[in-house]
Amino acid sequence: MGYFIYLVTLIAIYMMVIISYAVPVGWTGLLTLGHISLLAVGAYTAAILMTHGVSFWFGLLAAALAAGGVSFLLALPARRIKEDYFTLITIGFIFVVNAVIVNWTSVTKGPFGITGIERPSGFEDPFAFMALTVLALLFTAFFLQRVVNSPFGRALESVRDDDLVAESLGKPVAKLRIVSLVTAGVFVGVAGAFVAAFLQFINAQVFWLDNVIFILAAIVVGGLASFRGAVIGTLVLYLIFEPLRFLPFPPGLIGSLRLGTFSLLLLLVVLFRPKGIMGRAQLGE
Amino acid sequence: MPIFFQVIANGLVTFAIYVLVAGGISFLYAATRIFHLANGVVVLGAGYVFWWAWVWLGWHPAAAVVFSLVISSAVGLLMNEFVYEPLRRRGTKGLGYLIATLALLIFGTAVVMALFGAQPRTFDFQTASLVFGGVYMTVFQLWALMISILLLIVFFWIIRFTRFGKALRATADNETVAEVLGVDTKMLRRWAFLLASLFAAVGGILNGLEFNLDPNMGIIFAVRGFTAAVIGGVGSFGGAVIGSALVSFLEQAIVWFLGAGWRNAIVFILLFFFLLLRPGGIFGSKN
Amino acid sequence: MQSSSKAIIWVVVVLVILVGGYYLYRGSAPVETGPIKIGVLQPLTGDAASYGESEYKAIQIAAEEINKTGGINGRQIELIAEDSKCDPQAGGTAAQKLVNVDGVKVIIGGACSGETLAAAKITEPAKVILLSPSASSPKVSEAGDFVFRTYPSDALAGRINARYAYEKLGARKAAVFTELTDYAQGLREVYKTSFQEFGGEIVADETYNTGDVDFRTQVLKIKSKNPDIIYVVPQSPTPGVAIFKQLREAGVKAQFTTAEVLLDRQVVKDNAKALEGVIGVEVAVDYDNNPKANSLRTAHRAKFNSDPGSFAANAYDAVYLIRDAILEKGLNTGKIRDWLYGVKNWMGSVGAITIDKNGDPVMGENVRKISGGAVSDLGSYAP
């Protein structure tokens, strides 16, 4: 039972990240891979504050603001740069954030990581914490739903489908891109605070390359521009993988099996079913 | 002063390897408009296949090299045939390819990890150190440098003086016009992938011998490759050379002045500013 | 509420029911007969895999030996291994599974401090014993009542090395070259503080990232400062070997010293040239004269065709410690815990172990020298 609660909490946190990122990727057509770094920014901001006596809730707020702010910086080039190059920058950003975490030891404790992160009072019980996380997830989903079903959301889609046309129709393409990235950033920051409180110990390892492909695959396999798709994509990927643990594979092989399955699925979807399970758009068409 | 030259000498070794990878990515982009990050898989695979043939199966090193080059080029060609071409037929642009190449890169890494284990491997291989006026280089390093330069010269000659090279340049300039003028762009792409994969494979073998084999190498080289290619100017031969040189020497300088921790970060910050202010890279581009 | 939010909730609910049902079905109540399940939490992939595998192999050998002689009170040991990847998140998930799904009472692991600290958050409330053979961070001492280790805190090895360098080798100028991980940085800090305390000077303090392969610039910087002695701490053998190789290629003349990881017997065998003359400090495992260590080595060679790796002896002893605890106190983890805290001069393959009030071992650390592809003992040295 405890394992199950643990899994649900973990999946809920990742789902927050995934549906947040579904907005810039699926609706705005920006292939960004920076989500893991923004998660790190959120988690570290929250962790640093919480280990200095700040409450979880303020830590959450700070994490959201910090991640949102960093997203803004990262989004600035989106104005002038071609899409491919933008993606490359977001990849590079993962390394930059990692370097900051590992080297800014006075603040982040470097390779030692931050220990002793407390859960919000009243929510120490794993079940209660899980409930809180799921609640946060639902709130995120609800909010983002409203966002993409609004005229703003439609404007985002027009930018994805053909930014030149959108520009000629007077849509502020650059601003739209930036706003969608920052919005995603803010919610991922929140997810980061949850990661910190959940694991109660973080270091640079947690925010490294393994999960980047998972998040991208979840969005693409589930289908772009669809929250249901993103959710289903996440669950499909996770539930394909977890049972593998119980099969008699040598434990060391599981890591590569996981990576291999996700990337293969991603590849197959791109090749044979670009809209994913229930997407409404494709990238690069 | 000898220290300065030593730093240069150190940088030359990594330069020799980067340029083979970056060059491939750069010129593939010119020929196909695809950022073939999965070139990193070729680099990775070549090193491991070479290890397998030489150390595990016990073949003669020359045979192992040839075997590795053959397999690696095949992998590159297969990636083109079965992933990029079908996508092209569907009319995919930009981002669609990027997702595919990333997926290939990770998948390739996973396969190598599954086959060879996740731990780094080394070749028990060391050559003598030579000293030139206070600067140390090993025999192998010199060989690596020479091989790399030789390949670059060959490549340059191909681009400048052969029909293939001309067809390539025409396609890079304007694919539609090139086709109208009779260039078989599909065959051209195949040859381009073959060439780029061969170069990357050589880079992978050299890297394995000089440093080590690590499953994460594919991703690392893909990232370094595109950084060097973009900074120098994608699609330009001079660009790949300058970009690789810049990244190599900059890395050495960063480690010297700031320590290793910031190495990757600073290179990326440089990339960031280039893309912000001069997306064409140093040598402009044939975009 | 919007229809797709509703859909999300339904999907989650349905899946929760399905998956929850599956796990409840599989979840086991503690069994009084049948094999004793012991969890193994090790990094089997990732950068720390070299010692995760090394420890796992030693654990397997110990379990097999015990099982061959009838197991514990007639019950066989069943090892359940999970990959913690030296990552707190993976470590936490793995610990969760071991504790809640497999129902283990004892876990041997993690190897890295990070994953151990994360796993402790789960084992403590569940009162599961967590016994690490190699976590070295001082934080592990306070990680919990049920958390123990068969490896002393960082402070020891770094300090012994520094003192030996200053007093025995007469070094006055030291260069330190360490990997940017918690284990290596912990040793670096202790070494620097100690060496300076004894009166020496740290002339170079270089680092490198996990995964770096090119160390020439740092080598050059170190060379330019003319140190008497160089202390290299890698997290895994490969970069360590490469560093020494590159130091030699650059013509650096100084005494080379290192920590535990490079004293892995198989690594020493495979890289005899690169590691020739290197001095290091490790737990006082004596493969030639200590009968338990000897038996470990023989079995290791027979089963895996290689010599025991880093921390293998610590892992081997961990299993035997648990066996002894269970033999005396049964499977009640509270009683096992009390027994462990009372361990005094227990003879293991690493020599005598006494466990202190924090669950940390007091054990001997010896200075070693690598030469001719083998490790020889230079005796023990005070910290």
Residue C15's Cβ-count burial label (10 Å; 0-12, 13-18, 19+) is middle
Question: How many CB pairs (< 8 A) connect B and C?
Answer: 83
Partners of B135 in beta bridges: B132
Largest CA distance in chain B: 59
Residue B286 has pLDDT above 50, yes or no: no
Cβ–Cβ below 8 Å for B114 and A256: yes
Interchain pair B14, C214: CB under 8 A: yes
| Cβ under 8 Å to A: C residues 240-269 | none
What's residue C153's pLDDT? 78
- Mutation target to probe the C interface, by most C beta carbons within 10 A, among A118, A142, A205, A208 is A205
Give the residue-averaged pLDDT of B175-190: 81
- How do the residues of chain A divide into helix, strand and coil, expressed in percent and rounded to 5? 75, 0, 20
Instruction: Between C175 and B269, name the one with better pLDDT.
Output: C175
CA distance to partner chain A, nearest, from residue C107 (Å): 16
Contact between C146 and C123 under an 8 Å Cβ cutoff? The reply is: yes
| pLDDT (mean) for A112-136 | 85
Per DSSP, C35 falls in state P
Res A4 pLDDT > 90: no
Interface of A with C (CB under 8 A): 1-4, 6-8, 10, 102-103, 110-113, 115, 134, 138, 141-142, 145-146, 149, 199-203, 205-206, 208, 227-228, 231-232, 235, 239, 245-246, 251-252, 254-256
Under the banding of pLDDT at 50, 70 and 90, the label for residue C1 is very low
C134 with C55: CB under 8 angstroms? yes
Using CA atoms, how far apart are residues B97 and B28, in angstroms rounded to an integer? 13
- Grade residue A192 by pLDDT with cuts at 50, 70 and 90: very high
Contact B137, B9 (CB under 8 A): yes
Residue C261 pLDDT exceeds 50: yes
- What is the Cα–Cα distance from B73 to B194, expressed in whole angstroms? 6
Tokens read off for A74: 């990262």
In this predicted structure, the answer to whether residue C31 has a pLDDT above a threshold of 80 is no
Say if the Cβ atoms of B276 and A267 lie within 8 Å.
no
Are the Cβ atoms of A3 and C181 closer than 8 angstroms? no
| Mean pLDDT score of chain A | 85
Give the nearest partner residue to A81 out of B105, B113, B279, using CB atoms. B279
**Secondary structure element (H or E) that encloses residue B137, with its range:** strand B135-138
How many whole angstroms separate alpha carbon C320 and alpha carbon C295? 13
Length of chain C: 383
Q: Which residues of chain A neighbour C11 with C-beta distances below 8 Å?
A: 228, 231-232, 235
pLDDT at site C2 = 45
C373 — pLDDT class (breaks 50, 70, 90): confident
pLDDT at C29 over 70: no
Going by C-alpha positions, the residue among C94, C93, C77, C99 that lies closest to residue C42 is C94
User: What tokens were used for A7?
Assistant: 């899994």
CA distance C302 to C290: 18
pLDDT at residue C192 is higher than 90: yes
Helix pair C182-198, C155-163: axis angle to 10 deg: 40
Which chain B residue's Cα is nearest to C213? B211
Question: What are the structure tokens assigned to B211, written together?
Answer: 């440093």
Read off the tokens for C167. Answer: 């007093």
- What integer pLDDT is reported at residue C17 of this predicted model? 67
C-alpha distance from C270 to closest chain B C-alpha (Å): 8
Q: In the complex, which subunits touch A with 3 or more CB pairs below 8 angstroms?
A: B, C
Q: Which chain B residue has its CA at the smallest distance from C242's CA?
A: B211
Collapsing DSSP states into helix, strand and coil, what is residue C111? coil
Q: What confidence score (pLDDT) does residue A284 get? A: 61
Closest residue of chain B to A98, computed from CA coordinates: B265
Q: Residue B164 burial by CB count (10 A; 0-12/13-18/19+): exposed, middle or buried?
A: middle
Where are the extended beta strands (E) located within chain A? 114-115, 201-202
Collapsing DSSP states into helix, strand and coil, what is residue A197? Answer: helix
pLDDT of residue C296: 93
| Residue with token string 């001095």 | C279
Say what percent of chain C tops pLDDT 70: 91
Give the DSSP letter of residue B118.
S
Q: CB–CB of C114/C88 below 8 Å?
A: yes
CA distance A17 to A141: 11
List of chains touching B (3+ CB pairs within 8 A): A, C
Task: Work out whether strand C365-371 and strand C374-380 pair parallel, antiparallel, or are unpaired.
Answer: antiparallel
Q: Do B103 and A83 touch (CB under 8 A)?
A: no
Lowest mean pLDDT among A79-93, C5-19, C149-163: C5-19
Per-residue confidence band for B270, with pLDDT thresholds at 50, 70 and 90:
confident
- C-chain CB neighbours of B13 within 8 Å are 214, 216
Length of chain A: 285
Separation between Cα atoms, residue C208 and residue B251, nearest integer Å: 12
Contacts of C259 (CB under 8 A, 6+ apart): C157, C158, C161, C184, C187, C231, C232, C233, C280, C281, C282
* Residue that the structure tokens 């931050």 belong to: A114
Nearest CA in chain C to A254: C83
Chains A, B: CB pairs < 8 Å: 141
Angle subtended at Cα A266 by Cα A264 and Cα A271, rounded to the nearest 5 degrees? 95
Q: Would you call C24 an interface residue with chain A, using a CB distance cutoff of 8 Å? A: yes
List Cβ neighbours of A170 (8 Å cut-off, separation of 6 or more).
none
Cβ distance A89 to B223 less than 8 Å, yes or no, reads: no
Choose among B35, B103, B268: nearest Cβ to A267: B103
The pLDDT value given to residue C133:
93
pLDDT at C4: 52
At residue A83 the predicted structure's pLDDT band, cuts being 50, 70 and 90, is: confident
* Cβ-based contacts of C46 with chain B (< 8 Å): 118
Q: Hey, is C330 helix, strand or coil? A: coil
CA distance A168 to chain C (A): 33
Q: What is the pTM of this model?
A: 0.86
- 3-class state of residue B39 by DSSP: helix
d(CA C135, CA C114): 8
Do the beta carbons of residue C268 and residue B155 sit within 8 Å?
A: no
Contact flag B97-A220 (C-beta cutoff 8 Å):
no
Please, which pLDDT band fits residue B287 given cuts at 50, 70 and 90?
very low
Name every chain B residue with its beta carbon within 8 A of the beta carbon of A283. Answer: 95-96, 99
What are the two backbone dihedrals, phi and then psi, of residue C176, each rounded to the nearest 5 degrees? -115, 135
Mutate to test the interface with A, among B82, B90, B98, B227 (most CBs of A within 10 A): B98
Percent above pLDDT 70 for chain B: 98
- Which contiguous run of DSSP H or E holds residue A266? helix A254-272
Q: Which residues pair with B133 in a beta bridge?
A: none
Distance from the first to the final alpha carbon of chain B: 41
Q: Scanning every residue of chain A, which has its alpha carbon at the shortest distance from the alpha carbon of B96?
A: A284
Among B4, B5, B6, B217, most C C-beta atoms within 10 A, so best to mutate, is B6
Res C104: pLDDT: 92
Contacts of B221 by beta carbon, 8 Å cutoff, 6+ apart:
B21, B39, B40, B43, B44, B200, B203, B204, B207
Identify the H or E element spanning B129: strand B129-132
The full 3-state SS of C41-102, as one line of letters, equals: EECCCCCCHHHHHHHHHHHHHHHHHHHHCCCECCECEEEEEEECCCCHHHHHHHHHHHHHHC
- How many CB atoms sit inside 10 A of residue A156's CB? 28
CA distance B274 to B114: 37
Expressed in angstroms, the distance from the first to the final Cα of chain C is 66
- On chain B, the residues whose CB falls within 8 A of the CB of C274 are 126
The whole-angstrom separation of Cα A154 and Cα A248 is 48
Q: Identify the residue with better confidence: B261 or C119.
A: C119
Mean pLDDT of A182-203: 91
Rounded to a whole number of angstroms, the distance from the CA of C282 to the nearest CA of chain B is: 23
**Lowest-confidence range among C37-41, C152-156, C177-181?**
C152-156
Contact B266, B225 (CB under 8 A): no
Q: Which residues on B lie below 8 Å from C250 (Cβ)? A: 6, 129, 136
pLDDT at C267: 86
Among B161, B141, B194, B168, smallest CA distance to B24 is for B194
Reported confidence tier of residue C22, pLDDT bands at 50, 70, 90 = low
| Residue-wise pLDDT tens digits, A31-68 | 888 888 999 999 999 999 998 888 889 999 999 999 99
Average pLDDT, chain C: 87
Amino acid code (one letter) for C206:
E
Contact present, B25 and B39 (Cβ < 8 Å): yes
Contact C147, C113 (CB under 8 A): no
- In chain C, DSSP assigns E strands to 36-42, 77-83, 106-109, 129-132, 147-149, 173-179, 201-208, 229-233, 255-258, 279-283, 346-348, 351-355, 361-363, 365-371, 374-380
Does A284 or C150 have the greater pLDDT score?
C150
Q: Please answer whether residues C65 and C79 qualify as being in contact, where contact means their C-beta atoms are separated by less than 8 angstroms.
A: no
Q: Is the peptide bond before C110 cis (omega within 30 degrees of 0)?
A: yes
Q: Kindly tell me if the per-residue pLDDT of A78 is higher than 50.
A: yes
ipTM: 0.87
What amino acid is encoded at A183 in this protein?
T
Which residues in chain A are contacts of B226 at CB distance < 8 A?
Answer: 88
Most confident of A211-225, B169-183, C58-72: C58-72
**Which chain A residue lies closest to C16 (C-alpha atoms)?**
A8
- The string of pLDDT tens digits covering residues B21-62 is 999 998 888 888 888 999 999 999 999 999 999 988 888 989
Of B92, B95, B216, the CB nearest to A83: B95
- What domains can be seen in chain B, in order of their start residue? 2-277 (1.10.3470)
Question: Does the CB of C123 have a partner CB in chain A at under 8 Å?
Answer: no
Question: In this complex, which of C44, C209, C241 lies closest to B263 when CB atoms are compared?
Answer: C209
The tokens describing B115, both together, are: 């086959």
| Cross-strand partners of C206 | C177
What chain A residue is nearest to B225 in terms of C-alpha separation? A88
Q: Could you tell me whether strands C173-179 and A201-202 are parallel, antiparallel, or unpaired per DSSP bridges?
A: unpaired
pLDDT of residue A45: 93
Tell me if residue C208 falls in helix, strand or coil: strand
Cα–chain center distance at A230:
11
pLDDT tens column, B96-107: 888 899 999 999
Which residues lie closer than 8 Å to A41 by C-beta, 6 or more apart?
A63, A66, A67, A70, A97, A189, A192
Q: Each residue of C304-327: pLDDT tens digit?
A: 988 888 889 999 999 999 999 999
Mean pLDDT (whole number) for B75-94? 88
Query: In the numeric block, which tokens belong to residue A122?
Result: 């009243």
User: How many whole angstroms separate alpha carbon A204 and alpha carbon A112?
Assistant: 9
